[in-house]
Chains A and B, each alone.
Chain A
C-alpha cells in the first residue's frame, strides 16, 4: 500500500513542475530508491509510533495563539513574526530528540543537502504534521525550498487574513520555519530559514526557504 501511495504522487509532481515559473527546478533524483525508502519510513513510523490528535483542535488553538500575540504586541507584525520564530525554535530543539527516538536507527545518514531536504519533508513533516511538502533545490543544491501545495499546511486551514495584515506581511505559520531552524541547530547545523511567500498573503504559492546551512563546530573542553 505504501508503494502504491508513493507511485501515485510522482506524476502529479512533474505536472506541477511544468506549471510553475520559479527559478528552482525539481530534481529528477538519480538515487530515487532513497526517496522511496524515506517515504515508506515516514509512513510506517507515522502509523506505528505517533500519537494522533484532532487536526482542527490544533488549528483553532494555533489561531487563538496568533490572536493573543497580535493583541499583545499591539498589531506590530514584525515583532509577531520574530516571536513566532523564537517559539518555534524552542519547540524544534526539543523535537529533534523526539524525532531521533521515534525513527530509532532506521533513518539513513544524510550525505548532502538534498538528503537533508528529503528527510525533512518525507519523514519530519510527515511525522509531526502529516503533510509532505514538495522539496525544490536551486542549481547548486545549496538552497532548499519546501513548497506547500493545496492548503496542506494545516495551520492555515480556516484562515483569511484582513487586508492590513496582508500589507504588513504577517507570516501566519512562521512557527514552522522556527521549528526547522531549531531542529537543525540541535544536530549542529546553523541555517537561515524563512518564509518567502504565503498563499494567505495573496502569493501563488507557500514556500519556506532554507539557506546558508553551516556546521557548528563541536565544543572542546577547556584546556584541550
Chain B
C-alpha cells in the first residue's frame, strides 16, 4: 500500500496554490497558508527541485533534436512555438518518491510518497486534475482564474491559495486511504 506524505499544486506563475502535508506523529494535516512559514519554505524548495529537473530534461531533449532541424529554418520556428514535452514523472531519493505531472496549461501537480510505490502515480495525479481540480476550481465561475492578481505576485512571489471546501473534501476522500 502506497503511503502519501504530501501533495502540492503549483500554477504557471511558479506559486504554490495548494498544498498539504500529513504529519504521521501528530496525526494532523498541515496546509499551506500564508501564516505557515514552514510550509511555504518547503513548497519553494520542492518547486525549485521540480523546476530545475524539468528544465534539465527539456533542454536535453531540445539539444538532442536540434541537428535535424537546423537545415530548415521554418521548422525550427515551429519547434520554438510548440516545444516537445519532456517532463520527468518520478524521482526517487533515499526515503521518498516525488511524482510529478505537468499539464499543458502550465499547472504542476506533485505528490510525495514512500518508496513502496514502484509504479508511477501518473494516473492518480491525472484523476485529480481531470476530475477534482477541473470540476471544482476551473469550472467554478466564482473561483479566481489566476491566483496571481498583480504583476508582483508572479514568479513565485504570490501568496493566494485555493480556498474551496468542496475541492478539499473530494481531494481528501480520494487521498485519505493513502495517507
Q: Let me know if A74 is at the binding interface, CB within 8 A.
A: no
Closest A residue to B141 by CB, please name it: A94
Binds B, one of A107-115, A159-167, A202-210: A107-115
A115 to B78 Cα, complex, angstroms: 11
Q: Let me know if B155 is at the binding interface, CB within 8 A.
A: yes
* Total A-B residue contacts, Cβ distance less than 8 Å: 70
Q: Let me know if B48 is at the binding interface, CB within 8 A.
A: yes
Q: A97 contacts B157, CB within 8 Å? A: no
Q: Let me know if A101 is at the binding interface, CB within 8 A.
A: yes
Q: A187 contacts B138, CB within 8 Å? A: no
Q: A222 contacts B78, CB within 8 Å? A: no
Selected contact of A94 from candidates B82, B85, B138, B155, CB within 8 Å: B138
A39 to B104 Cα, complex, angstroms: 21
Contact flag A111-B106 (CB < 8 Å), given A219-B155, A220-B14 = no
Size of A's binding interface in residues, CB under 8 A: 29
CB neighbours (8 Å) of A186 from chain B are 105-106
Closest B residue to A93 by CB, please name it: B145
A-B CB proximity, top 9 nearest = A221-B156, A101-B130, A112-B78, A221-B14, A97-B138, A110-B82, A101-B134, A186-B105, A222-B155
Report B's interface with A, CB cutoff 8 A.
12-14, 44, 47-48, 51-52, 75, 78-82, 84-85, 103-106, 129-131, 134, 138-139, 145, 154-157
CB<8 Å pairs between A and B, sample of 11? A94-B139, A97-B103, A100-B103, A104-B130, A109-B82, A109-B84, A111-B78, A214-B81, A215-B80, A215-B81, A224-B51
